[in-house]
């Protein structure tokens, strides 16, 4: 019932906004929170770029959004966020062809066994952390040209149980626990957001916990949790509410850049008394390591 009690304090006018002429990119938008977010933005007249991995499912989602909202400006890009070369290629092409006001990093995965991508990267890290890092840094020059540019990253409250660990980014040590690896990636996204907010003052960054929602990802990655909790999970639209609020409301950008949100409110990124704080040098080191990784996959061809 967390959403019901929180939403009593929401101001509906915050999201009654016309966003015609503004351009939004939403990753992982063929289902779940990503699709619900894209639909709400489309309803308000925004141009929406859906970035999805699965072409068939993405086309179905695109048609559904156009039909339900009457907004024709819904564009589809097929990109696997876990493939850094593909993310670079897409970003560089997108930068030359489109404008962008708001980037929503929603794509994520929770793979329960240690799997490697074709580049030899652990799959959760490749998608949740490196993919998010490359897409955001590659599109920042485009965002910085626009007024009221925003970047929102969908993290998870699960990150509260993790302290940033830069010594094992690819989960090579010890036994592999997919849930904890995912939580570590979500902690990394919080650190990324805080670091970007310091470095890029004219873009508003935020990261958020959608609450536990009934999404295809939760059903497939956390079947036991889903079975136990299915009657009390949020709907996809409720999970997407704070993403939409952060993407379109004027209230969101009155708050400082770099904060972590739940139910339209900034919340702490550490539990009381938890030893999850990391030294600033670790946070800077994360940025350096991701930058090195990302450059490794950047094609040297011009343009």
**How do the domains of the chain map onto residue ranges?**
2-296
* Overall average pLDDT of the 202-227 stretch: 82
Q: What angle do CA 284, 205, 34 make, to 5 degrees?
A: 115
The pLDDT of residue 226 is 66
**Is pLDDT above 70 for 171?**
yes
Q: Quick one: pLDDT band at residue 302, thresholds 50, 70, 90?
A: very low
CA-CA distances (angstroms) from residue 216 to 31, 35, 191, 249?
Answer: 7, 11, 27, 27
Residue 107: what pLDDT? Answer: 97
Sequence-ordered list of residues with C-beta below 8 angstroms from that of 4, at least 6 positions apart, any chain? none
How many other CB atoms sit within 10 Å of the CB of residue 257? 19
Of all residues in the chain, the percent with pLDDT exceeding 90 is 87
Active site residue 182: yes
Task: Decide: helix, strand or coil at residue 101.
Answer: coil
What's the rounded mean pLDDT across residues 245-260?
Answer: 98
Radius of gyration of the chain from its Cα atoms, rounded to whole angstroms: 18
pLDDT band at 303 (very low <50, low <70, confident <90, very high): very low
- Dump the DSSP string for 125-150: IIIIIIIHHHHHHHHHHHHTTSTTEE
pLDDT at res. 6: 93
| Nearest-angstrom CA–CA distance, 196 and 257 | 9
Q: What is the pLDDT of residue 84?
A: 98
Distance CA 95, CA 190 (A): 25
- pLDDT band at residue 233, thresholds of 50, 70 and 90? confident
Above 90 in pLDDT, residue 231?
A: no
**What is the C-alpha to C-alpha distance for residues 30 and 51, in angstroms, rounded to an integer?**
8
Task: Give which of 98, 196, 117 is closest to 153, Cα–Cα.
Answer: 196
Buried b (16+ CB within 10 A) or exposed e, 156-182: bbbbbebebebeebbbeeeebebeebb
Q: What is the mean predicted confidence (pLDDT) over 198-217? A: 89
- Of the residues 3, 133, 182, 226, only one is catalytic, namely 182
Mean pLDDT of the chain: 94
Residue matched to tokens 């011009």: 302
Burial bucket for residue 270 (CB in 10 Å: 0-12, 13-18, 19+): middle
| End-to-end alpha carbon distance in the chain | 50
d(CA 90, CA 16): 32
* Of 240, 186, 265, the residue nearest 26 (C-alpha): 240
pLDDT digits (tens, 9 = 90+) for 119-167: 999 999 999 999 999 999 999 999 999 999 999 999 999 999 999 999 9
- CA angle 253-237-233, nearest 5°? 115
Half-sphere exposure of 285 (CA within 13 A, CB side): 11
Q: At what angle do helices 84-97 and 280-296 cross, to 10 degrees?
A: 80
Write out the two tokens for 73: 């400006």
Question: For residue 161, what pLDDT is reported?
Answer: 93
Q: Which residue has the higher pLDDT, 269 or 235?
A: 269
**Band (1; pLDDT cuts 50, 70, 90):** low
Q: Pick the more confident residue, 289 or 213.
A: 289
The dotted CATH code for 2-296 is 3.40.50.720
pLDDT average, residue stretch 164-187: 96
Rounded Cα–Cα distance for residues 259 and 266 (Å): 6
Mean pLDDT of 18-29: 98
Of the given ranges (55-64, 96-105, 291-300), which has the lowest mean pLDDT?
291-300
Distance CA 281, CA 187 (A): 16
The pLDDT value recorded for residue 215 is 74
């Amino acid at each position: 019932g967390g959403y019901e009690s929180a939403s009593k304090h929401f101001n509906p006018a915050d999201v009654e906004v016309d966003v015609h002429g503004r351009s939004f990119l939403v990753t992982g938008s063929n289902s779940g929170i990503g699709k619900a977010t894209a639909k709400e933005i489309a309803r308000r007249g925004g141009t929406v770029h859906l970035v999805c991995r699965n072409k068939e499912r993405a086309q179905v989602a695109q048609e559904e959004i156009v039909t339900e909202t009457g907004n024709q400006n819904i564009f589809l890009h097929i990109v696997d966020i876990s493939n850094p070369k593909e993310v670079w290629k897409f970003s560089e092409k997108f930068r030359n062809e489109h404008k962008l006001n708001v980037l929503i990093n929603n794509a994520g995965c929770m793979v329960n066994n240690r799997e490697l991508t074709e580049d030899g990267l652990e799959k959760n890290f490749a998608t949740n952390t490196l993919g998010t890092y490359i897409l955001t840094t590659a599109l920042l020059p485009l965002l910085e040209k626009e007024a009221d540019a925003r970047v929102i990253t969908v993290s998870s409250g699960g990150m509260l149980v993790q302290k940033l660990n830069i010594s094992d980014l690819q989960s090579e040590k010890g036994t592999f626990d997919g849930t904890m690896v995912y939580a570590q990636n979500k902690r990394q996204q919080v650190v990324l957001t805080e670091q970007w907010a310091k470095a890029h003052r004219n873009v508003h960054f935020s990261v958020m916990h959608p609450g536990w929602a009934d999404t295809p990802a939760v059903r497939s990655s956390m079947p036991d949790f889903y079975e136990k909790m299915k009657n009390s999970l949020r709907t996809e639209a409720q999970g997407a509410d704070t993403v939409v609020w952060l993407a379109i409301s004027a209230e969101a950008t009155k708050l400082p850049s770099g904060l972590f949100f739940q139910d339209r409110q900034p919340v702490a990124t550490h539990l009381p008394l938890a030893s999850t704080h990391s030294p600033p040098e670790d946070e800077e080191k994360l940025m350096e390591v991701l930058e090195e990784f990302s450059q490794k996959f950047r094609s040297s061809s011009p343009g």
